[in-house]
Structure 1
C-alpha cells in the first residue's frame, strides 16, 4: 500500500523518483478544487434550502455557494458605492443612468 506522502504528492514532486509507480494525484486536480466545510443552520433555513433543491436549484452546496456569491457581490457593491460617495466623482455616470432608466 502506498504511503500517504505518495498518495498526496503533486506530480512534479521531486522527492518521488521518475520510476515510482505509487498513486499520485493528477496535476489538474489541484486546479479549481473546492474545500468541504460543515456549517450549522437554523432548521427554517435548512428547510428553505431543501425546498430549493427539490425545485431543481442543484445540491445544497450549490444553493449555499450561490447565496454566498450573491452576498459577496452585494457587499462589493456597497463598498463601491461608499467609495463613490466619498470621492464624489460620479458625474461620469449621468449618461449611463439616463441610458439605462425606463421612461414612463
Structure 2
C-alpha cells in the first residue's frame, strides 16, 4: 500500500505528496525521539510521530522512510512544508492519535488482525 492510498482510504490529509504514489509502506516506526528514528527506522517504513518540525523532515530523508505521518492534528509550518516538498518527502496529517493511526496502518499491512 502506498502512503497516498492509505491517506485516501482513511481520511488523512496529504500535505506533501513527495514519492507517496510510487513507494510502498513496508512497515511502521512510531517514535518522537528523532535520534532513535535515525538509527532504528527502516527504509520504506511509515514514520508516525507528533514532532512537526524541520528536523523531522530531515530525519525522514536520512532514514529513507516512505512517509511521515503527523498525528494529533500537528502540522508543519510553511517553511518546513516547503522543505518536505523540496526533498520529495510524503507528509500526511492525521487527526487521530499515534496509536490509532499505527493500528489502522498495521491492519492494512496485515501486521495484525
Task: Provide TM-score, normalisation by structure 1.
Answer: 0.24
Q: Which has the higher contact order (CA 8 A, sep 6+)?
A: 2
Asked which structure has the greater CA Rg, the reply is: 1
Q: Which structure is higher in helix share?
A: 1
Q: Which structure is higher in strand share?
A: 2
